[in-house]
């Protein structure tokens, strides 16, 4: 077979391989049905090139793509003989390296993300590390997640880093802070700093509020809790009283609009909002960005992979945090009923019992994971798969 001369440092490349690289890229993007298209496939290859061997979960975290999408692309790359799996994770084959270096023009094989802060841009000092130790104890006491209201508990480290970020940006000391939903228990490290003027939590889940109240009593801090369904307007007593809000809303556009709008009612005309939200395809992100702008917020800062969650494999256990600055704020509320993912995109989830390994289907006959008890008596489960419910 005819060979054209050397291209770059990677050596010879056959003419048929060079010609088919764009076709391979197009085919993988189409077969994987990725909203981001070819760019997402390129991102996956770039991450593998820089970090190989690397697990599928780590690829998803670094590319900020859903885990099932990454797994599908990985399989397609294997079929094209561009990728192979090892005990330590995915690696590019010789053909895959040629593709990366000669077609994508990749050269540098290192990541520049800070090893110490993991890209968050801040580190915890002794003061915040001591707070984290306390938060870890209380996080262990959380109930099972209620997936029907999009609960997905952030790690204790995430909650503490959120508080540290508010401190670093001047949004903690002497401030009145409202948590618009707090199943992540970010109010705990916030209150433990003894820096804010006031800490208030509004949430629909009695179990979470009971835990926060117990924490407040035993740790000697003051957190005011209010049970409230955010689909209804917030109490008059909360309106226009706060300097800062923090929210991790349902990952739907309706959910984001609703939670941020309730937060705006609490802020008044101006204030700061900390928004934790899932990384989205560009078409969905445009809707999110427009909603944020229409409310009167600007995104002053956005840190990818800031938040990590327990067991949320579908989002590779990570989301971003954004600091929003608001002026002349106004609520922008859409549909107040279809705010949860299960209503907008119905799915069934498969959970494996951690005691005996039996797998259960949750989402139809069994509505939520907390209703599930294994036949062996086990009550702890791990989600291993999910799929859309077909109309």
Contacts for 325 with CB less than 8 Å, ≥ 6 apart: 272, 297, 298, 300
8 A C-beta contact, residue 193 and residue 159 = no
pLDDT at 276: 97
pLDDT at 111: 87
- What are the pLDDT digits (tens) for 64-114? 888 888 999 999 999 999 999 999 999 999 999 999 999 999 999 988 989
Whole-angstrom CA distances from 267 to 172, 209, 241, 243 are 15, 22, 6, 6
pLDDT at 162: 98
pLDDT at 1: 40
8 A C-beta contact, residue 31 and residue 79 = no
Q: Homologous superfamily of 132-326 in CATH? A: Vaccinia Virus protein VP39 (3.40.50.150)
pLDDT at 346: 63
Domain ranges of the chain: 3-103, 132-326, 346-388
Domains 3-103 and 132-326 share a fold: no
DSSP string, 149-185: GT--PBPHHHHHHHHHHHHHTT-STT-EEEEE--TT-
Look up the pTM and report it.
0.83
Angle at 306 between CA 90 and CA 114, to 5 degrees: 65
pLDDT at 352: 87
Q: How far apart are the C-alpha atoms of 365 and 367, rounded to whole Å?
A: 6
- What are the pLDDT digits (tens) for 289-346? 999 999 999 999 999 999 999 876 666 689 999 999 999 999 999 888 877 776 666 6
Q: Which residues pair with 297 in a beta bridge?
A: 326
Residue 372 is encoded by which pair of tokens?
């599930």
Q: What is the pLDDT along the chain (391 residues), one digit of tens a residue?
A: 444 444 444 445 554 666 788 888 999 989 988 888 899 999 999 999 999 999 999 999 999 888 888 999 999 999 999 999 999 999 999 999 999 999 999 999 988 989 899 899 999 999 999 999 999 999 999 998 887 777 889 999 999 999 999 999 999 999 999 999 999 999 999 999 999 999 999 999 999 999 999 999 999 999 999 999 999 999 999 999 999 999 999 989 999 999 999 999 999 999 999 999 998 888 899 999 999 999 999 999 999 999 999 876 666 689 999 999 999 999 999 888 877 776 666 667 788 898 899 998 887 667 666 678 898 988 888 777 767 665 5
**Three-state DSSP class for 92?**
strand
Question: Omega of the bond prior to 230 within 30 degrees of 0, cis?
Answer: no
Looking at the domain that runs over 3-103, which CATH code has it been given? 1.10.10.10
């Amino acid at each position: 077979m005819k060979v054209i001369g050397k291209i770059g440092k990677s050596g010879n490349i056959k003419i048929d391989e060079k010609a088919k690289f764009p076709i391979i890229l197009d085919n993988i993007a189409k077969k994987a049905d990725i909203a981001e298209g070819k760019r997402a496939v390129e991102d996956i290859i770039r991450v593998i090139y820089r970090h190989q061997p690397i697990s599928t979960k780590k690829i998803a975290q670094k590319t900020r793509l859903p885990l099932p999408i990454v797994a599908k692309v990985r399989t397609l790359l294997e079929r094209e003989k561009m990728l192979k799996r090892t005990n330590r994770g995915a690696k590019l084959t010789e053909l895959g390296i040629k593709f990366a270096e000669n077609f994508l023009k990749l050269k540098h094989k290192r990541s520049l993300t800070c090893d110490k802060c993991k890209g968050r841009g801040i580190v915890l000092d002794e003061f915040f590390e001591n707070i984290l130790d306390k938060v870890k104890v209380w996080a262990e006491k959380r109930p099972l997640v209620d997936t029907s209201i999009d609960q997905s508990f952030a790690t204790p480290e995430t909650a503490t880093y959120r508080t540290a970020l508010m401190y670093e940006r001047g949004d903690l000391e002497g401030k009145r802070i409202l948590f618009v939903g707090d199943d992540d228990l970010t109010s705990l490290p916030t209150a433990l700093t003894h820096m804010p003027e006031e800490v208030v939590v509004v949430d629909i889940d009695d179990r979470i509020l009971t835990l926060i109240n117990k924490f407040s009593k035993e740790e000697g801090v003051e957190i005011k809790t209010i049970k409230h369904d955010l689909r209804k307007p917030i109490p008059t007593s909360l309106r226009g009283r706060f300097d800062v809000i923090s929210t991790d809303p349902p990952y739907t556009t309706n959910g984001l609009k609703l939670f941020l709008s309730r937060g705006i009612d609490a802020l008044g005309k101006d204030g700061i909002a900390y928004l934790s939200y899932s990384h989205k395809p560009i078409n969905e992100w445009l809707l999110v960005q427009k909603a944020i702008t229409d409310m009167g917020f600007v995104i002053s800062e956005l840190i990818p992979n800031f938040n990590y969650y327990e067991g949320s494999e579908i989002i590779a256990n990570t989301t971003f945090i954004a600091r929003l600055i608001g002026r002349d704020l106004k609520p922008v509320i859409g549909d107040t009923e279809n705010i949860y993912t299960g209503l907008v995109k119905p799915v069934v989830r498969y959970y494996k019992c951690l005691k005996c390994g039996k797998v259960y289907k949750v989402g139809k006959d069994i509505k939520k994971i907390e209703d599930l008890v294994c036949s062996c008596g086990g009550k702890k489960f791990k989600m291993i798969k999910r799929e859309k419910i077909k109309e």
